[in-house]
Structure 1
């Protein structure tokens, strides 16, 4: 029998209370306005982790909720993959720290995936291949970020866009198809339009430790590759966009979401949007949007979901699944 995979549970976590555009502007003395931010991005608020709260802490809460939803105990997990660009440490990985916090001592492999905003799709695709190979049966796949730690609060073009949070899924071996098709790609020649071009060397920061972005270039690139990779997985599964019940794109900017849905001829009503309340949570954005919609009763078992993301690198990918 061919091994398939399915998502058996979802979970998410947002730290603290929502921070409105007005509160953010006031806190950092930004030359901006709520109207300016909403008009250009669709973002009205975001969540920011308190000092001392790390990506693995957010991942822990999201993972507990996903495991509960799946009816699984931590010790049943035999693979942990965390997608993050803002890990707690240089090493060990956020996945290893999460494993420790969950009390998992069964020797399950645990590692991070760094593909920025495409990270969750990358991680889900990797976990799917592990399970289909027969080597593992129950994977915990997480996207967790504290992007607030790498923002230049004087740069109004970037600091208003991002938020912190985590989302998780439990992916299990199954007899019936769940994940139908996946694809992921990268093109490093575009690294300059979105990056954090700094590092720690000799105990000090070298280069620029803050997120830098060419917004117009990112928009053009994102809309093109998101449409292309969505069509790639639809073709691979022998399906059309009309058969998709919900499009769950990376929550970067409402304009990118709208443009992508239009290019795919998917109704705006079928596009899950959380960027207005979460901001861009990078690798956490897709599992956050997924879990919120599942718990709200919008997403139902048996429906077809198209997940897709694009991020610095540049990286991009998509997964088509039957939930």
Structure 2
């Protein structure tokens, strides 16, 4: 009997501290950095984002989202046999122990395999693709896939080109072995030739950070590349699934910039009312943005069982990917 992987539960979590554009503009003005609500919103579509408190880590956010996804799936947490966590802001410098292992400890389900995936804003798509392959190979039955970020820790609040764009949060799904098709197709890409346009260029050496520990982004270059690759990978994954954009009920893209999302939808001939948008309230939460948006769509009743959803992301590396999923 053929094995499929299917999303059986979704969950998300945002730290309580909500920071509006007005709040951020006031904070930046005190530092001598000029910006405005209008400037931020017209360029990104962002009105607010959430920032974690200083004692809250990516694993803390991840646990909240994970528990909600597990609850929706109807599983006992001890039935989870693999944890894959996508993050660019791990709990520990150097990324070890992995944040996935810390989440495993906090969930109290030690014993199953757990590891992190690093593909920045494409991380959740990469993690879903790995989970899908592991389930279809018969290696795992119930995989917890999480995207969790505390990007506020790596933002330079003197750089208005980046600090106004990002937020903190976590999203999760449970993917389980099924007799019914769930994940219909995935497609991943990367091109290291573009690694310089979006990065955190610092490195640890001798107990200190050499270079910058803040996000650097060439905004125009990232925008141009993102618009190009998101359309292409969407068409690629639809072709693999033997579908067209007309077969889609929903597009759940990485929530980076409303103009990128609108451009992708237009190129795919999808009306904007078929696009799940949370960037206005969440900002860019990197690897957490897709599962956050997916969970919002599921819990508010827009995304229904049996519907077909295309999820896609693009991020530093440069990485990008997409998946077609029947809910």
TM-score, with structure 1 as normaliser: 0.99
- Note the alpha carbon deviations across 1:212-269, whole angstroms, 9 max, x for none: 1111110110011100000001000111101100000000000000011111111111
1:288 and 2:286 are equivalent in the alignment: no
Q: Structure 1 CA distance, aligned partners of 2:18 and 2:261? A: 22
Please say if residues 188 and 322 of structure 2, whose CA atoms lie closer than 8 Å, have aligned partners that are also in contact: yes
Decide which of 272, 276, 282 is 1:272's aligned counterpart.
Answer: 276
Per the TM alignment, residue 199 of structure 1 is displaced from its structure 2 partner at its CA by: 1.5
2:161, 2:252 → 1: CA distance?
A: 25
- Residue 99 of structure 1 is matched in structure 2 by 104
Distance 1:33 1:23 in 2: 10
What is aligned with 1:25? 25
Q: C-alpha distance in 2, partners of 1:263/1:190? A: 23
Superposed CA offset, 1:47-89 (max 9, x none): 0000110000000000000000001121110000000000001
* 2:215 paired residue number: 211
Helix, strand or coil for the counterpart of 1:122?
helix
Per the alignment, residue 312 of structure 1 pairs with 316
Q: Does 2:77 correspond to 1:78?
A: no
CA displacement at 1:208 relative to structure 2: 1.1
Deviation at 1:203, TM superposition (A): 0.9
Q: Aligned partners of 2:139 and 2:298: how far apart in 1?
A: 29
The alignment covers a number of residue pairs equal to 322
In the aligned structure 2, how far is the partner of 1:108 from the partner of 1:186? 29
Give a deviation string over 1:276-321, Cα, whole Å, max 9, x none: 0000000000000000110000100000000000000000000001
Does residue 233 (structure 1) correspond to residue 233 (structure 2)? The answer is no
- Any idea what SS the aligned residue of 1:277 has? helix
1:248 and 1:155 mapped to 2: Cα distance?
A: 29
The within-5 A match list for 1:138-287 is: 138-287=142-291
For structure 1, the residue ranges without an aligned partner over 5 or more in a row are none
SS of the residue corresponding to residue 258 of structure 1 reads helix
Task: Please list every run of at least 4 consecutive aligned residues from structure 1 whose deviation after the TM superposition is greater than 3 angstroms.
Answer: none
For residue 191 of structure 1, give the secondary structure of its aligned residue in structure 2: helix
**Match in the other structure for 1:16:** 16
For residues 86-118 of structure 1, give each alpha carbon's deviation from its aligned partner in whole angstroms, at most 9, with x where no partner exists.
00013100000000000002x211000000000
- What do the CA deviations read for 1:120-148 (whole angstroms, capped 9, x no partner)? 00000000000000011000000000000
Q: What is the SS of the residue equivalent to 2:34?
A: coil
Using the TM superposition, give the Cα deviation of residue 152 of structure 1 relative to its aligned residue in structure 2, in angstroms.
0.3
Aligned twin of 1:53: 56
Tell me if 1:321 matches 2:321.
no
CA distance in 1: counterparts of 2:242 and 2:250, whole angstroms = 17
Length-normalised TM-score, structure 2:
0.98
Are 2:28 and 2:34, in contact at CA under 8 Å, matched by a contact in 1? Answer: no
Q: What root-mean-square deviation, in Å, do the aligned CA atoms of Structure 1 and Structure 2 show? A: 0.6
